[in-house]
């Protein structure tokens, strides 16, 4: 089954996606990881990405959609995708619908991890120490959080009307969030 997990930066999307990958034998599709990989490769796209990330902005939909398309049409991954942090914009959500329809796939469940700003800041500070991520400084995270909340509201509105949408309290402990998701998935 294909699943979307979305929420603000630091909400625990990656952690929950990794849990589901193990549990369901699926593939994690992290746009953040895809973008960081382009930066590591020092490609032209990677240079554009780093400028956006350093300014606390989201990377252009065109770039993200192009990277994602290759994954969706990979026959080994069809109907086994966990979308971690994608889509972030209404344009991306509609693009995902088109790509899934073209590849004869669908989203089975959509999880929104709802977390407040204070919890996010605490988690990001901890993650910066543990994972040494260059995009995890407080001022950048606060910009990314505010940008996320502004840009992603239409995505939340779009998905919250669907029957397969589930809002989960992302401020709970990791294991409690995992257990709640497991209950919803009935696995």
Question: What is d(CA 50, CA 47) in angstroms, rounded to the nearest whole number?
Answer: 5
d(CA 56, CA 46) in angstroms, rounded, equals 15
How confident is the model at residue 97, as a pLDDT? 96
Mapping DSSP to helix (H, G, I), strand (E, B) and coil, where does residue 84 land? strand
- CB–CB of 68/99 below 8 Å? yes
Q: Percent of the chain having pLDDT more than 70?
A: 93
For residue 163, the enclosing domain spans 2-185
Instruction: Characterize the bridge pairing of strands 27-30 and 81-84.
Output: parallel
Specify the CATH number for the domain of residue 91: 3.40.50.300
Question: Any bridge partners for residue 27, and if so which?
Answer: 81
Please give the model's pTM, rounded to 2 decimal places: 0.82
Which pLDDT band holds residue 95 (cuts at 50, 70, 90)?
very high
Does the structure show a pLDDT above 90 at 24?
yes
Higher-confidence residue: 26 or 117?
A: 26
The DSSP secondary-structure symbol of 157 reads: H
**Count of domains forming the chain:** 1
Tokens of 170: 């992302």
């Amino acid at each position: 089954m294909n699943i979307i997990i979305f929420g603000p930066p630091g909400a625990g999307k990656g952690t929950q996606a990794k849990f589901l990958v193990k549990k369901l034998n699926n593939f994690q599709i992290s746009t953040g990881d895809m973008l960081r990989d382009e930066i590591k490769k020092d490609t032209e796209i990677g240079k554009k990405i780093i400028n956006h990330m350093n300014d606390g902005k989201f990377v252009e939909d065109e770039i993200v959609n192009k990277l994602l398309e290759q994954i969706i049409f990979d026959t080994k991954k069809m109907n086994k995708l966990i979308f971690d942090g994608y889509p972030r914009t209404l344009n991306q959500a509609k693009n995902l619908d088109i790509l899934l329809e073209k590849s004869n796939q669908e989203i089975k469940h959509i999880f929104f991890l709802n977390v407040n700003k204070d919890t996010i800041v605490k988690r990001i500070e901890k993650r910066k120490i543990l994972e040494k991520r260059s995009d995890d400084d407080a001022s950048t995270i606060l910009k990314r959080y505010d940008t996320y909340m502004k840009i992603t509201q239409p995505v939340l509105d779009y998905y919250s009307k669907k029957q397969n949408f589930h809002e989960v309290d992302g401020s709970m402990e990791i294991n409690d969030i995992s257990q709640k998701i497991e209950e919803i998935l009935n696995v």
